[in-house]
Amino acid sequence: MGGQDIADYGRMEHTWLATFLDLPHGSASHDTFRRVFSLVDPQGLEQCFRRWIASAAPPLPREVFAIDGKTVHRSFDRGRAQGPLHVVSAFATQQGLSLGQVAVVGKGQELTAIPVLIKSLCLEQIRGQCT
């Protein structure tokens, strides 16, 4: 989903969004969303999101975590000579919850990403030991 999709959604759902936001000039344009997203630090956003989730959600019970590598469908861009995005994901099977993803340099590199993903999950936090 890109800035154009979000701007289109804002126009379609203007009445509903106006119940939460003051929108005297309508929804923001796709250019505005592009500029805002270009200023966001992805690692900083991820850290804030993880802290928020950890404070808002109860610890997960002990369960099986599935780890799997996938190629994201239609993530390539031939015009920019960018290949498809490969990710390794962790999934809490009983909760039906995706716990995290790590981008992989190329297909076949999943094994190098698995330790990074596991470390980012901070599994010790479940036992109350992670800082």
pLDDT at site 102: 86
- For residue 52, the surrounding DSSP H or E stretch is helix 42-56
In tens, the pLDDT along 38-84 reads 899 988 888 888 788 777 766 666 777 889 888 777 666 666 666 77
User: Tokens 């036992």, residue?
Assistant: 127
Sign of CA dihedral 35, 38, 42, 43: negative
User: What's the average model confidence in pLDDT over 82-102?
Assistant: 82
Cβ atoms 128, 108 nearer than 8 A: no
Question: Which residues does residue 68 pair with via DSSP β-bridges, in sequence order?
Answer: 89
Structure-block tokens of residue 32: 């505005």
83: which residues sit within 8 A by CB, 6+ positions away?
76, 106
User: Tokens 């890109």, residue?
Assistant: 2
Tell me the average pLDDT of the chain: 80
In tens, the pLDDT along 7-39 reads 999 999 999 999 999 989 888 999 999 899 889
pTM for the whole structure: 0.52
Does residue 111 carry a pLDDT above 80?
yes
Does residue 129 carry a pLDDT above 60?
no
Structure-block tokens of residue 119: 């470390």
Q: How confident is the model at residue 130 (pLDDT cuts 50, 70, 90)?
A: low
* 3-state SS assignment for residue 98: strand
